[in-house]
Amino acid sequence: MQQAILILENEEIFYGQSVGYKADSYGEIVFNTAMTGYQEVVSDPSYKNQIITFTYPHIGNVGINKDDEESNSSYVSGLVLSEVPTKSSNWRSKIDFLDYLKEKKIVCIADLDTRYIASIIRNKGAMNACIIHNEKDIKKTKKELARYSGIIGSELASKVSSKKKYVFNENIFQHCDRKSSGKKKLKVVAYDFGVKKNILRILNSMDCEVEVVPAKTTADEILSLKPNGIFLSNGPGDPEPCEFAIKTIKELFEYSIPIFGICLGHQLISLASGAKTEKMKYGHHGANHPVIDLKTGKVMITSQNHGFVVDEKSLPKSFVVTHRSLFDNTIQGIKHKKFPIFSFQGHPEACPGPQDVNYLFKDFINFMKKSINAKKK
């Protein structure tokens, strides 16, 4: 195997083996602590321009299958693995992980101490990094890395969004009997800022007609579709430069249509309300994050993937905090005191991870039903 080299912004250098696509790649390096679901992580558009360090050693051992893809493309800048992936062994596998990396043009370095690298990120914060393949390029790469702009200030949502609107018909867990009744009772218009497929699968399985629209769809275009509810998806990058989305969401606030946001969608709702967001030291990336529901006191284990957080001091009084992270007490959920607008920072759709917060989708359904009944009176 060919040598690969990981260079961090703090000039630490790690030598490993190149097991993916052969190219030099730059990105913000983060660590993910999930013990399952590497395929869902790698295919999540929210990781655009990021290099993922997996702390769990067994990555690639169950191969790749069609059902677990969270998008049709991979936007990740690179992967850092502890061990060279072995040949896959699982009844659902259709392709080996190494072949998948090459097919999707994903740069990957293996045979590194990923937990040590995670400790560097945890102690010094997320930083830019690069994976290269020629030792002679180290000096040049360090200079380029120093000039690399990174995630802060980068509007990436429109870069991963669909270009055209479409109706999503895929059900959750296609290989079993849990399917939609086929009777579409509620229409949801879902903004694609980098949406994960399992969010759309869940909405479809709950008998919603799901129409997905591009990131820059205007409020007038949304209203012309006559939705019962509006969903704001997850996505990559810095939320504050998404001025087109913030402006549109502000306009949609005026129509009392139920709005539900996840991840980037949560941050955009906050920004549209007048709040601010800030960069976290190293973010939350994993499937084992404890979150408390402040209304019930219930603690849930959640899937997380974000590097920005809502600044609580800037949150207007018209919103109430509904959930908090038990790792660092940051905001995990908010809800408008008067209108049917709410959001969650983590990923209730999981994929990968636990489904403890899945009830938020039911809350969204109930908001839409209440809105319809109110209009009938």
- The catalytic residues are 263, 347, 349
Cα-Cα-Cα-Cα torsion 290, 295, 298, 300, nearest 10 degrees, comes to -30
Strand partners, 6: 14, 131
Residues contacting 280, CB < 8 A, separation 6+: 126, 306, 307, 308, 309, 330
Q: Which residue has the tokens 């969270």?
A: 70
Contact 154, 24 (CB under 8 A): no
* Half-sphere exposure for 127 (CA within 13 Å, toward CB): 21
* Measured distance CA(268)–CA(242) in Å, rounded: 8
Which among 151, 220, 160 has a CA at the least distance from the CA of 189?
A: 220
Q: DSSP assignment, residue 294?
A: T
